[in-house]
């Protein structure tokens, strides 16, 4: 288990095992407790990665294959903030009113 996604799979496997009776409650609680510690550590590491803009730390947390999704989400979040600051409810509404080209041009200026 090397990434949060691996941990997520392990937790769902634990849940399935608990439902099917293959894992007892005590073991499930132990796995959940350890998982919570790992998640809290990952949150801290991700906060540090964000603060220092360290892609290497972020890759270590979520895995290289998932970093692009996070980067795309960060760009979308910035575009959403921009759209709201322009008086729109969301990015789609802003692009619909302004047009994609104008929206992108104004966004780049921020």
What is the C-alpha separation between 38 and 88, in angstroms, rounded? 38
User: pLDDT value at position 104?
Assistant: 92
- What is the chain's pLDDT, residue by residue, as a tens digit (110 residues)? 577 788 888 889 998 998 899 999 899 889 888 888 888 877 777 776 676 666 677 677 667 776 666 666 778 889 999 999 999 998 888 999 999 999 999 999 98
User: pLDDT value at position 105?
Assistant: 94
Non-local CB neighbours of 5 within 8 Å, separated by 6+ positions: 62, 63, 66
User: pLDDT value at position 90?
Assistant: 87
What is the C-alpha separation between 7 and 28, in angstroms, rounded? 13
Neighbours of 14 (CB within 10 A): 19
User: pLDDT value at position 83?
Assistant: 93
Neighbours of 74 (CB within 10 A): 11
């Amino acid at each position: 288990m090397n990434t949060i996604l691996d941990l997520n799979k392990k937790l769902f496997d634990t849940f399935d095992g608990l439902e099917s009776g293959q894992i007892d409650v005590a073991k499930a609680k132990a796995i959940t407790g350890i998982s919570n510690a790992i998640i809290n550590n990952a949150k801290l590491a991700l906060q540090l990665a964000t603060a220092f803009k360290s892609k290497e730390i972020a890759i270590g947390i979520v895995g290289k294959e998932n970093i692009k999704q996070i980067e795309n989400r960060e760009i979308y979040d910035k575009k959403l903030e921009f759209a709201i600051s322009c008086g729109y409810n969301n990015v789609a509404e802003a692009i619909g009113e302004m047009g994609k080209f104008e929206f992108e041009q104004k966004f780049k200026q921020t």
